[in-house]
Amino acid sequence: MKIGIDLLWVRPGICGGTESFIRNLMNGFGRYDETDEFMLFVSRDNSDSFQAFDSFPNMTRMVMPVDSASQPRRILWENMHLDKAAVKSGVDVMFIPVYSMPVTYGSGIPYVSVIHDLQALHYPQYFSTVRRLFLKYMWKHACRASSRVITISEYCKRDLSEHYPTVEEKCCVIYNPVETGDSGLTSAVLEEKYGIRENEYFYCVSSMLPHKNLETLLRTIALRKQKGKAVPLVLSGVGGDTAAFDKAVMENGIEDLVINTGFVSNQERDCLYESCRLFLFPSVFEGFGMPPIEAMRRGKRVVMTRKSCLEEVTQGRAVYVENPYDAEEWSEKIDDALLLSRQAEAFEEYSLEKVVENYGSVLRNA
């Protein structure tokens, strides 16, 4: 079967978890799917970032005449021309890894869409009116027009079915693939670059968007400093209000304890996971929440919230705060986690091979 994958939406280094998801999944398609051919619909300005996939004999890049950096033009082109491009390429099914199924799709080619979360319905204050209306329309359209809809957690499926009841019969859950290999780096690299030593810092992978709840984490670090328990916090991620984050760091008086790496390579991020004392994840809303699982698979203790899907996907194996906004409780739970022995968690259901098998089954039967 010839499967088309829409990658026009990917802005390398900007899309965060959804970009990690699709790149992991495509690596799996290349390594484990020996029966299907994949046509990668890429843009002019993101094509080079997918060059590594040329090494897989079952993958072919198809460069479309549009740039992903220009979102309005990309969205317009996608809706007017992607379905026609799919027909021209001879694909049997189109895979849309996000909510952006084309509105014009008269070809009869089945579409399989992934909806990662409905955040704009739960936290509308974080979205402009135009963005919120656009997302609501596209989610409704994807639920109505897609042959199959995939969600990435049972929480997300329940949420989707509640807001769009007609999707329930065509909706299924496939958890995200979580890959954790050896970084190949030593902690000496981190000490030289950031001045941090192995096992002497807390780590967090997160954007700076409001629902990530980093303000509470900063108050927690400040509180522990006041109690004589100061430990540096290292944060990696992109997106959100960096200026507001920097201001909060200053207001809490912890400029000496917070290191914001910004975007880092997978290799450096993995080394930061491997060398941290604890992993902290204060987010109050996720569709899946990959970073805590990445940390736990490396044997790191994780302190996090129970919100949305997070207890589900970590299977109750983390240390959880009951009140996500209570810095005192966060500090207490950090103390609890520091006393626990480390244990690597397998999470076999998130293995790349299993996830690829599940996606392949849905795509072939769309």
Q: What is the pLDDT of residues 4-18, one digit of tens each?
A: 999 999 998 777 778
Around Cβ 212, how many Cβ atoms within 10 Å? Answer: 23
What 3-state DSSP class applies to 96? Answer: strand
Q: What is the pLDDT of residues 214-272, one digit of tens each?
A: 999 999 999 999 999 999 999 998 888 899 999 999 999 999 999 999 988 889 999 99
Q: What is the pLDDT of residues 145-177, one digit of tens each?
A: 999 999 999 999 999 999 999 999 999 999 999
Around Cβ 326, how many Cβ atoms within 10 Å? Answer: 15
302-327: average pLDDT: 97
Q: Are 258 and 232 in contact (CB under 8 A)?
A: yes
CA dist 286 and 35 (Å) reads 33
User: What token pair was written down for 88?
Assistant: 């021209």
Supply angle C-alpha 228, 254, 193, rounded to 5: 105
Question: Which residues contact residue 332 at a Cβ distance below 8 angstroms, ignoring those fewer than 6 apart?
Answer: none
pLDDT at 104: 86
Q: What Rg do the C-alpha atoms of the chain give, in angstroms?
A: 21
194-208: average pLDDT: 95
DSSP track, 45-56: TTGGGGGGGGGS
DSSP track, 285-350: --SS-HHHHHHHHTT--EEEE-TTTHHHHHTT-SEEESSTT-HHHHHHHHHHHHTSPP-----GGG
Is the pLDDT reported for residue 182 higher than 80?
no
CA dist 174 and 161 (Å) reads 15
Q: Are 177 and 352 in contact (CB under 8 A)?
A: yes
Question: How far is CA 21 from its chain centroid?
Answer: 6
The secondary structure of residue 153, as a DSSP letter, is: S
CA dist 225 and 91 (Å) reads 58
Around Cβ 366, how many Cβ atoms within 10 Å? Answer: 19
What is the percentage of the chain residues whose pLDDT exceeds 70? 100
Q: Are 259 and 245 in contact (CB under 8 A)?
A: no
CA dist 115 and 98 (Å) reads 6
Domains recognised in the chain with CATH numbers: 2-177+351-364 (3.40.50.2000), 187-348 (3.40.50.2000)
Q: Which of 80, 87, 79 is nearest to 62 (CA)?
A: 87
CA dist 122 and 26 (Å) reads 30
190 to 77, 284, 291: CA distances (angstroms):
43, 29, 19
Is the pLDDT reported for residue 139 higher than 80?
yes
pLDDT at 107: 83
Is the pLDDT reported for residue 32 higher than 90?
yes
User: What token pair was written down for 228?
Assistant: 């004589």
CA dist 37 and 35 (Å) reads 7
Is the pLDDT reported for residue 341 higher than 90?
no
Q: Which of 43, 112, 99 is nearest to 74 (CA)?
A: 43
Please name the amino acid found at residue 306: R
91 to 4, 77, 87, 106, 126: CA distances (angstroms):
6, 19, 6, 14, 37
3-state helix, strand, coil in the chain (%, to 5): 45, 15, 35
